[in-house]
Copies of this chain bind each other. A is one copy, B any other.
């Protein structure tokens, strides 16, 4: 027994302890969970000095190794820790997603069948360098009755460790097992691979991060995986669009926060309005921003768009790229069918929008565009757990199994059938 134990990696031992705790969570009450969440938030604040000290080590070690944008993402401050604690308190306030009777039927033989929402069990979350993901993910998992196993990027490991230590102190104070929230201390690829293949111990894996991380999980995971993230989002300006609305929507979707997955990367314009709207777009996205000292959007134009405005010549690859930057690919299309066809070939199925005043065109678009979120006359930037009213979120699913779009606490549950009889046999 001891020999067998010694052969197991620390990661597998963590997974086993997590699974054991998740079994105890079968009957846990929302009150107990919320008390633990509030204690976790308190301990996070309490631990601010230690967390900031460890975070400083991470930042110092990473400087020069990663971009300034990444350094900013990695850096914590007292106010950022306060925001993390506040996020946990908000999650505690949400109604419990557990124990809901989703369906109840009585069969002719008298069997009472209920479909009841329950925790998924053990959720593995592999992420990169944003330390706040550590506390967000732990809190969302716990609120939905799950035990989480976190795997932080190595740049942020010391910060994550300090945060998890604080959360564990909160768990202990609230009388929950210290293994309810776990951090893998093997920050190598081997640690991630073990987590991805811990069938029977890990019930679901969520990668949160860039395209490379997601691909690695999809390629290597044998535990069920929830693909999140990459967004090549399109906005189609229909021939019946309100052009002022269209320009405002494209401008917002492109420039309000270009680095996020729900930002627009491609604008498709109906040929009948291209002559009117393309110059308006160029003015709003490029010319006016240059004048006001903001970063102008680089427009990458297909050959038809170049007939109307000046810009960079687009390559084929520009329509398959998540720029995450002040760059917008623009194409002129013959009509809504072409727009839908373009989207179906190039989209990552995250979020797409049509701008039109024509109800028939709107219906065609929402019916035929196969993305998690399909908008009529609104910015793609709304694809977000908070904006959808789900509270907080674990990421945006771009796959079709289990959950699509923002992953709130409901999406971190599953269900079981409970069947009550009085001796029925078949």
Contact = CB atoms under 8 A, between A and B. Distances in A.
A212 interface: no
A379 B204 contact: no
Contacts of A419: 373-376, 378, 382
A67 interface: no
Interface stretch (A125-133, A160-168, A248-256, A296-304): A248-256
A63 interface: no
A258 to B, nearest CB: 13
Interface residues of A, number: 70
A274 B35 CA distance: 42
Nearest to A410: B103
Interface in A161-202: 199
Interface string A198-242: 010001100000000000001100101111000000000000001
A425 interface: yes
B249 A389 contact: no
B400 A113 contact: no
B26 A426 contact: no
Nearest to A344: B23
A1 interface: no
A418 B366 contact: yes
A178 to B, nearest CB: 20
A416 B399 contact: no
Contact of A426 (B120, B204, B381, B400): B381
Contacts of A113: 388-389
A422 to B, nearest CB: 6
How many monomers of this protein are in the complex? 2
A313 interface: no
Interface stretch (A77-85, A88-96, A282-290, A401-409): A401-409
B417 A405 contact: yes
B372 A421 contact: no
Given A387-B107, A401-B204, A26 B367 contact: yes
Given A113-B388, A388-B417, A414-B404, A248 B374 contact: no
A100 interface: no
Contacts of A414: 400-401, 404
A406 to B, nearest CB: 8
A368 interface: yes
A66 to B, nearest CB: 28
Contacts of A373: 416-417, 419
A124 interface: no
Nearest to A226: B401
Contacts of A371: 416
A419 to B, nearest CB: 5
21 contacts: A23-B344, A26-B368, A26-B370, A107-B388, A107-B389, A121-B370, A121-B400, A204-B401, A251-B425, A253-B425, A371-B416, A373-B416, A373-B419, A376-B418, A377-B423, A378-B419, A378-B421, A382-B424, A402-B402, A405-B416, A405-B417
Interface of A: 23, 26-27, 105, 107, 111, 113, 118, 120-121, 199, 203-204, 218-219, 222, 224-227, 242, 245, 248-249, 251-253, 256, 344, 362, 364, 366-379, 381-383, 387-389, 399-402, 404-405, 414-426
> Closest 4 CB pairs between A and B?
A378-B421, A252-B425, A224-B401, A26-B368
